[in-house]
Amino acid sequence: MGFYVALVHYPVLDKQGQSVATSITNLDIHDIARSSRTYGIEKFFVVNPIPGQQWFAHRVIEHWLEGFGAEYNWTRKEAMQITKVVGDLEEVADDILCDADLPIVFIATTARKMPQQISFELLRKKFGQEPAHYCIVFGTGWGLHPSLLMDIDYTLEPIVGVGDYNHLSVRAASAIILDRLFSPHFDPDRHSI
């Protein structure tokens, strides 16, 4: 049993609701790798099928794993050790299944309220009660394409702000979601104040 994170660059939506592939952003890799490492995630998958984009992501990761960066900043090295570049969610599943043979449960994230979304609390309970490999899937651009949502087991309720503005970056949203799902701060038996 383990927890995984996937950042999907294709198929995602653009501003007009069309299917596109987005470019990999250097700071997405850094931030989400560090957040994943902080919350005990086994592997962080950067999902992009385009060879030139995969090459770029590999270069960033290798710089911090083996290049000058490894010596300069070990906190980034440790985060990059769990980061892997793949082409699609099938490759994510193959990679996870190499490790053990529990079922894989994919959980999509979205900024939109939709029917039948699972709450943070219920998903956290499932983690404790139903052994599986859980993979939390984040979309870049304007969110995951609906065709991808069909292969997904659950869609997580969105983060809701104080007013009607709700436009977090994927770096911020993934940090909040990992915190709510995995932080010991929210353990029910935690001593409060």
- The residues binding a copy of itself (CB under 8 A) are 15, 27, 30-31, 34-35, 37-40, 73, 75, 78-79, 119-122, 159-163, 165-169, 171-176, 179-180, 182-185, 192-193
Minimum distance from residue 181 beta carbon to a copy of itself (Å):
11
Minimum distance from residue 56 beta carbon to a copy of itself (Å):
17
Minimum distance from residue 39 beta carbon to a copy of itself (Å):
5
How many angstroms separate the Cα of 137 from the Cα of each of 61, 70, 72? 20, 28, 31
Minimum distance from residue 150 beta carbon to a copy of itself (Å):
25
CA 167 from centroid of its chain's CA atoms:
17
Q: Which is nearer to a copy of itself, 42 or 95 (CB)?
A: 42
What's the rounded Cα separation, in Å, for the pair 13 and 167? 15
Q: Which is nearer to a copy of itself, 33 or 93 (CB)?
A: 33
Q: Count Cβ atoms within 10 A of the Cβ of residue 78 and give its class: 0-12 exposed, 13-18 middle, 19 or more buried.
A: middle
Q: Are strands 104-108 and 154-155 parallel, antiparallel or unpaired?
A: parallel
Return the CA Rg of the chain: 16
Q: Which is nearer to a copy of itself, 10 or 39 (CB)?
A: 39
Minimum distance from residue 74 beta carbon to a copy of itself (Å):
9
Q: Which is nearer to a copy of itself, 150 or 193 (CB)?
A: 193
21: how many CB neighbours lie within 10 A of its CB?
Answer: 17
134's tokens: 């859980």
Q: Which is nearer to a copy of itself, 84 or 88 (CB)?
A: 84
Question: Could you give phi then psi for residue 64, rounded to 5 degrees?
Answer: -85, -20
